[in-house]
Each structure stands twice: as C-alpha cells, then as structure tokens.
Amino acid sequence: MPQKPPYTITEKAADYLAKIVETVTRLEFGTDFKRDIKLHRKNRVRTIYSSLAIEGNTLTLDEVTAVIEGKVVAGKQAEIKEVKNAYEAYDQIMAFNPYAIKDFLKAHKLMTQGLVTESGRFRSGDVGVFSGDVAVHIGARPQFVPQLMEDLFAWAKTSELHPVLKSAILHYEIETIHPFEDGNGRIGRLWQTLLLAKWNAIFAWVPMESVVYKNRSGYYRAIEEARKVNDSGVFIEFTLGAIYEVIAEQTKHQVKHEVKHKVELTDTQLAVLNALQNNVLSRKEIFAIIEVAGDSRAFKRHIEPLLTQGFIEMTVPDKPNSRMQKYKLTAKGKKTKSR
C-alpha cells in the first residue's frame, strides 16, 4: 500500500469542495461554457500567461496572445520559447495519464525543451529555492526523486480522495519534491489542471492559474506554511479557494454574456438549423443547401452566432479552421422550431 502524503482536510477546504462541485455543475449544464470555443481559446492564453508570469516571464498578455497566434514579438527569445512550449504542453493535456511517470516527464520536456539542460528528465543534482542568498526550500536529494515520484503517483492512483483535493495535494508534493532542474512550478500547476480536467473536462479551459498569479504572494505563503508544519492542509485551502473563485467568475461571466448576446434568430439562421436536422455538414454544404454565397462575412453573419448561442457545435472543436470541420445541431438547436 503506497504511503499517504501528510495532509489535513480542514472544514474550510471541505466547504470550498462543496461549493466547487455545485458551481461546476451549474457552469457545465446551466451555461454554454462547454461550447464557447472563443472563450476556451481566451482562457487558454490567460492560463499560459499567468503560469509563466508567476515564474517571472515579462511578456504581456497581448504579447503572449501574439506569440500563440504565430506573430512576431519583440522580446527575449527565452521568454517567447517558454510561451510556445507551454502552449504545446497545455494543448496535449488531455492525452496525459496523471499517474504515469513517462507522461509526467513528457510534459516537462514539452514545457522546457530548448530552455533547460535536463529537459524531460529528473534532475541529477541538488536544487533549492532561494530568497536572495537564503535557502527557502531545498528539494529532495536527486537519488531519491524517481522513487518519491513513483510513490506519490502510486498513492494518487489508488486513493479514493476526491479528485479536486487530490489535485491540490499532488501540486504541493511536486513543489516539495522539486523533481526537475527547472520548471517545477509550471509543471505542478499543469498537473493540478490535468487532474481537475480528468475529473471534469471543462477544467481544461478554466484558467485557475490566473487567480494564483493575482494572489501569488498568498500562493508562495501557503506553500511555505505547509512546509513548516509538514502538512499540505493550508495549501489545499488556498488552491481550492482559487479554483472556486475562477469557476464562480466563469459562471457569472457566462450568464451575463448569454443575456447580453441573446438575439432573435434570422430566417437564414433558421434555414441553417433546418439544413442540419439529422445531418452533419461542412460550411460549404450548409451554404449550398440554403443557397447563400459562403464567404467569410456570410459565415460570421449566419453561422457564428449559432455557435456562440449553442444552437450548433463543431465536430472538431479544438481546431476551428480544420479542413475536416463540420457542424451539427446541439440539444438546444434540435429544440428550435422554424417559423
């Protein structure tokens, strides 16, 4: 039986967990968040910007957005590389097994390739976190790191603890073991997001890191206080508070967005819905059926609002511009009757 890491689930943490479960359910089933592809992309950029900024990357949110969009940005090449690497790592997040060491190392390689010597490998030397010349934390001795990580993942895989709580504990333990030469903070936050997303896929698009960045002093303080007492309880409280804050923010924003942008469907939009009854069609096929010239302006006018409002959805949502892209009705779209 794998040894359990030291942690305490406080009343405050338990309260946060209950609120998280309730709010996630509301976000998933009471809003169009799952289908809001534009918001997903925006949140992914916020995630990457925030996680890198916590570690000192100086690129602005607009610059990070530009890098991800493939534009030329005047900045430090290492910082630009960090953005590209982080985008690649988060883009593959749902393919990782959160309890597989090989995936953990692969994620680190994606996150740090071209930036650190031991990318994708556990460190071979000692490492510490310093405040000036003072050592704030010294990671585990390198010869013990592989076994410590194996033990941690073995515990997490068999533990019946709620995934939200488990994600916080793994995040903390990764920071404590400090398994890599560099990139421990980035990989710890990525791995917490991974565990959350395996519990509920909407977390792949929830920018928890943005709240951590906003309160990074509290983040570091929670880690330090947990280390002093050798119990991750205070860190669990902090990170669950961050999760609750960001999903509550997403839910509130989504409801406001839907009220603001609720519009009466046009005859052409209703024709699109009729064309998709029992059909899965490409953009070209839709416009051919409704007999409208299918240029980009027509797409924005007639199809994009149906996506935003959740009447239709993409068959390849992660790649909106894919040549294989087709569209189909959602449950909401199927309920809509033509005039």
- Give pLDDT tens digits for 223-268: 999 999 999 999 999 999 999 999 998 888 765 555 444 557 888 9
* Res 296: pLDDT: 85
Q: Which two three-digit tokens encode residue 150? A: 């194996």
Q: Where do the domains of the chain lie, and which CATH numbers do they carry?
A: 11-257 (1.10.3290.10), 267-335 (1.10.10.10)
Q: Which two three-digit tokens encode residue 154? A: 């073995």
Check if the beta carbon of residue 17 is closer than 8 Å to that of residue 294. no
The size of the chain, in residues, is: 339
Check if the beta carbon of residue 192 is closer than 8 Å to that of residue 164. no
Closest CA to 137 of 98, 174, 169: 174
- Give pLDDT tens digits for 167-180: 999 999 999 999 99
- Check whether 95 has a pLDDT greater than 60: yes
- Give pLDDT tens digits for 9-32: 999 999 999 999 999 988 888 888
Q: Which two three-digit tokens encode residue 205? A: 């698009």
Q: Where are the beta strands (DSSP E) in the chain?
A: 128-131, 134-138, 312-314, 327-329
- The dihedral over CA atoms of 190, 192, 196, 197, expressed in degrees to the nearest 10, equals 20
Check if the beta carbon of residue 138 is closer than 8 Å to that of residue 128. yes
Check if the beta carbon of residue 305 is closer than 8 Å to that of residue 263. yes
CA distance 311 to 305: 9
* Res 256: pLDDT: 54
Q: How confident is the model at residue 338 (pLDDT cuts 50, 70, 90)?
A: low
Q: Within 13 Å and on the Cβ side, how many CA atoms surround 134? A: 2
- Check whether 105 has a pLDDT greater than 80: yes
* Res 70: pLDDT: 92
CA distance 169 to 54: 19
- Give pLDDT tens digits for 187-198: 999 999 999 999
CA distance 187 to 105: 10
- Give pLDDT tens digits for 113-139: 999 999 999 999 987 665 666 656 677
* Res 308: pLDDT: 82
The letter for the amino acid at 310 is G
- Check whether 335 has a pLDDT greater than 90: no
Mean pLDDT value across the chain: 90
Q: What is the pTM of this model?
A: 0.74
- Check whether 288 has a pLDDT greater than 60: yes
The letter for the amino acid at 38 is K
**Of residues 8 and 307, which shows the higher confidence score?**
8
- Give pLDDT tens digits for 50-77: 999 999 999 999 999 999 999 999 889 9
Report DSSP state, residue 180.
Answer: S
Q: How confident is the model at residue 3 (pLDDT cuts 50, 70, 90)?
A: confident
Report DSSP state, residue 316.
Answer: S
> What contacts 161, CB < 8 A, 6 or more positions away?
169
Check if the beta carbon of residue 140 is closer than 8 Å to that of residue 178. yes
CA distance 142 to 180: 9
* Res 339: pLDDT: 47
Catalytic residue among 40, 108, 171, 178: 178
Is 178 designated active site?
A: yes
